[in-house]
């Protein structure tokens, strides 16, 4: 009986951002996931950090699983050469399929869409719907304002202190890979 391949869902920007370290991290992450034998699950775009992480995973011989809604196939240049490509009707379905096909979640720098994806899985965790590890890849301290906001929300009484434990802040890809190996392998 063969062992089921573990999968890591990566939420990230459909743009590169202004700091080249973001692109470097996306490429490094795609490469390292493939080398560790972990399947990349992501939003199936071929633009921005999404495209970078997928191309790097493919170049390193990795398995890729992309999920994209029909209406974004053109805007995000749906990557058709993935190991598996799932086209959904809605964004909600996209997030659900990505989440259901992953053992862990990593959020690279990104914009409103990445925040939406991240907070949906954190809310599901808060509601007791899963216990999958969630990591914020804090490249060049990108997520520091978000971490401060979470502390503010706790201090203001809108979320419990336990919310801090629903995600782990990781400074770089090498440290993330150590954690993924420990948590998934």
Establish if 107 belongs to a structural domain. yes
Domain that holds residue 151: 13-184
Of 105, 100, 42, nearest to 76 by C-alpha is: 42
- 44 phi-psi bin (left φ>0, alpha ψ -120 to 50, beta other): left
Establish if 114 belongs to a structural domain. yes
Establish if 119 belongs to a structural domain. yes
Establish if 33 belongs to a structural domain. yes
Q: Please check whether residue 12 is in contact with residue 6, taking contact to mean a CB–CB distance below 8 angstroms.
A: no
Mean pLDDT of 128-132: 96
Please write the tens of the pLDDT for every residue from 22-70. Answer: 999 999 999 999 999 999 999 999 999 999 999 999 999 999 999 999 9
Residue 1 has pLDDT above 60, yes or no: no
Please provide the average confidence, as pLDDT, over all residues in the chain: 95
Establish if 30 belongs to a structural domain. yes
Please write the tens of the pLDDT for every residue from 137-183. Answer: 999 999 999 999 999 999 999 999 999 999 999 999 999 999 999 99
Establish if 7 belongs to a structural domain. no
The CATH number assigned to the domain holding 55 equals 3.40.50.450
Report the pLDDT value the prediction gives residue 18, as an integer from 0 to 100.
97
Establish if 65 belongs to a structural domain. yes
Report the pLDDT value the prediction gives residue 77, as an integer from 0 to 100.
74
**Domain tally, the chain:** 1
Establish if 154 belongs to a structural domain. yes
b/e per residue, 4-22, with b = 16+ CB within 10 A?
eebbbbbbbbbebbeeeeb
The number of CA neighbours under 13 Å toward the Cβ of 130 is 19
Mean pLDDT of 6-32: 97
């Amino acid at each position: 009986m063969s062992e089921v391949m573990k999968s890591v869902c990566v939420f990230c920007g459909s743009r590169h951002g202004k700091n080249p370290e973001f692109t470097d991290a996306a490429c490094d992450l795609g490469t390292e996931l493939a080398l560790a034998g972990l399947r990349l699950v992501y939003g199936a775009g071929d633009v921005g950090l999404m495209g970078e992480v997928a191309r790097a995973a493919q170049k390193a011989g990795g398995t890729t699983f992309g999920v994209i809604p029909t209406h974004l196939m053109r805007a995000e240049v749906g990557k058709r050469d993935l190991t598996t490509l799932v086209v959904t009707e809605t964004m909600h379905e996209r997030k659900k399929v990505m989440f259901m096909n992953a053992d862990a979640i990593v959020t690279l720098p990104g914009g409103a869409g990445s925040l939406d994806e991240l907070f949906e899985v954190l809310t599901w965790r808060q509601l007791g719907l899963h216990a999958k590890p969630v990591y914020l890849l804090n490249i060049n301290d990108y997520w520091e304002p978000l971490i401060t906001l979470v502390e503010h929300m706790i201090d203001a009484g809108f979320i419990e202190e336990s919310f801090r434990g629903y995600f782990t802040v990781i400074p770089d890809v090498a440290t993330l890979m150590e954690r993924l190996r420990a948590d998934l392998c």
